[in-house]
A and B are shown apart, each in its own frame.
Chain A
């Protein structure tokens, strides 16, 4: 039998054309899924968590999981929801969208999770959201800032602000407070978060009359930024916008100092972590970043959270842990108000979240299911971030 590619391909094509009519759109009201969903509190409350516990985003996923574990532990010690304990099941997304979608499918359909918490990266949340939406199980992303995530459907929420707001805040800050005319941007090309913020920043800053003098990039996991910084230094900017994660920015600041780049660096909430100061040391002094809250915030809830987190996990919380903690608290609060685990009731309860006192600021969910929160701008001095100013949405 000789190999005949034409027949091998054409024949099956005809067959598929003939039988191609078996398309099935995802239906929310599939009876089996409704059965999985319509459970009361007595059946046990299981929260599904998806985060990158391994891989190059593992430090963010682990922080997120820790924040959620702490919130649930507190609630359970206080008696759970109407006396029912809350259980957690955390799956690893390995920082990959397919793994995230896989995990959320399993959590909802196999494990019977009533609600999904996750992911950090918008790219992964975007892969998870359609699954949750189709199954009618609410999903709260603690820290995915891309606007597209909650646009997937009415079951998808977030407790952080979105890129357009945070990027714009920093563009205004650079223009108004730093009086910068020439700004260089440096993005983490592997992170949709960083790429998104830089995009917004460039647009806002040029609209304000400023000039972007250099647009450079690095990749998550890099540790040598000297080439980019040398190029940026040669462009002679007034400030540099680096909205990356603390895993890279700490060393980046150190190398900027070594190369004699003596202008302020600006960043976003991805900076917030005690690791930043461990990696960057005194080189970070005089830099600014936007965040959800100030770790110096005198509110007892903040002090309390930082102390408990340090006791539980032996390190200080980063902003991802804070947001995850808040997301879990919002979720638990909504379950308590709904008094049931049915999807639509939970969805409505979450959507009604108003003035929720979170560690990372007061959370009010708007009609697009995004949190409306003010942003604070922090200035780093002496290995700590200090309140500088705050911006209302």
Chain B
């Protein structure tokens, strides 16, 4: 693309090309939805993988791109899960006038996801505004504390079902919806990384004092990154609650937050591709171990007990062998770009 052409054509071209990824992905997702019918295990695993990808990619915006250290992602997920579930359950007897039951359910479900995301985003704002002034490890403790406080609130609230949690949440999540939000969070993460906003975040990661000296309002940028990440954690929570149909406080404890951090670091801090790959493989790893043990015909009563110790040791080995994570800070689309010399033109299609 020549400079003058890009100058004149940019608005409309960008406007049109913004649609291209959606036009590509939606039929694919629809196809996947049809293909996986009739294999509930595949569907379940895919949904679980999808939710974890959303969590890992969104946490990567805070922990990877911005270099902050949040340990409370499960807390935001919990906020989204409970908010979305409460809304859905309250709306369950209702349907939108003039729409058939199934699409009406899906529209209400979409609203409940947005409510879950918004509630989590709001919490992210309230937690982030004061605590993002803190230095690295202190932020980790505050976010961890926030996650635990959410758990205690849920345990103490009759409306949230105390220890038993909420059950009978309508099952609305499909491969299509999860796939769509996976796509959306990756797109947002990618666009964010490519934008001036994203470069400011990276500047904060590399040297916060220098970034601030360059005139970047570091707190504002950090809070924004935090709110975006929390929003998607909330959406992931909403998706999660609508295929589990049961949520309870212990599902969202700090060990869960740790698991998400592990995915982000194992994939490579700052690499969206890495987060995706790590989330997929670490979610499938326990299932893989099950299949392996089953095929080896090991003692059926005991196989599962050794999964977690093995998982722990694998983490240590992975970090020793590849401390920068699977992908470092590289992205799959960077490799694509190297071959095509005009990044601006291909950016949208990646």
Contact = CB atoms under 8 A, between A and B. Distances in A.
Classify A-B as touching or not with yes or no (CB < 8 A): yes
Given A23-B103, A106-B287, A92 B176 contact: no
B250 A95 contact: yes
A74 interface: no
Contacts of B3: none
Nearest to A21: B103
B110 A13 contact: yes
Contact of B301 (A69, A102, A190): A69
B248 A123 contact: yes
A298 interface: no
Nearest to A54: B308
- Of A20, A54, A97, A126, which is in contact with the most chain B CB atoms at under 10 Å from its CB? A20
B290 interface: yes
B301 A98 contact: no
Interface in A54-101: 54, 65, 69, 87-92, 94-98, 101
Interface residues on B, range: 35 or more
Interface string A1-26: 11111011101110111011111111
Contacts of B102: 21, 23, 25
B191 interface: yes
Interface in A119-138: 122-123, 126-127, 130-131, 134-135
A90 B301 contact: yes
A276 B347 CA distance: 64
Interface residues on A, range: 35 or more
A2 B288 CA distance: 41
Contacts of B163: 123, 189-192, 194-195
B40 A11 contact: no
A15 B27 CA distance: 11
A23 B18 contact: no
A206 interface: no
A3 B195 contact: yes
A109 B39 contact: yes
Given A88-B300, A101-B44, A20 B106 contact: yes
Contact of A97 (B37, B180, B247, B307): B247
A101 B244 contact: yes
A20 B195 contact: no
B14 A1 contact: yes
A97 B18 contact: no
A105 interface: yes
B281 interface: no
A123 B224 CA distance: 36
Interface stretch (B165-173, B270-278, B329-337): B165-173
Contacts of A192: 162-165, 248
B176 A22 contact: yes
A93 to B, nearest CB: 9
B324 interface: no
Given A3-B195, A110-B41, A21 B106 contact: yes
B22 A11 contact: yes
Nearest to A51: B304
B55 to A, nearest CB: 13
A134 to B, nearest CB: 8
B236 to A, nearest CB: 12
A314 to B, nearest CB: 15
B244 A127 contact: yes
A141 interface: no
B268 to A, nearest CB: 22
A53 interface: yes
B155 A11 contact: no
A304 interface: no
Interface in B85-134: 100, 102-103, 105-107, 109-110, 114
Contacts of B217: none
A94 B250 CA distance: 11
B162 A19 contact: no
- Of B106, B164, B192, B251, which is in contact with the most chain A CB atoms at under 10 Å from its CB? B164
A-B complex: 3 closest residue pairs judged by Cβ atoms: A92-B304, A3-B195, A20-B106
17 contacts: A1-B191, A1-B194, A5-B188, A8-B188, A8-B191, A12-B22, A15-B180, A22-B30, A22-B174, A23-B105, A53-B302, A89-B294, A101-B244, A102-B45, A109-B40, A130-B246, A135-B40
Given A20-B110, A101-B44, 8 more contacts: A2-B196, A3-B192, A17-B110, A49-B301, A89-B294, A106-B287, A127-B246, A130-B245
Interface of A: 1-5, 7-9, 11-13, 15-17, 19-26, 30-33, 49, 53-54, 65, 69, 87-92, 94-98, 101-102, 105-106, 108-111, 122-123, 126-127, 130-131, 134-135, 146, 148, 189-192, 194-196
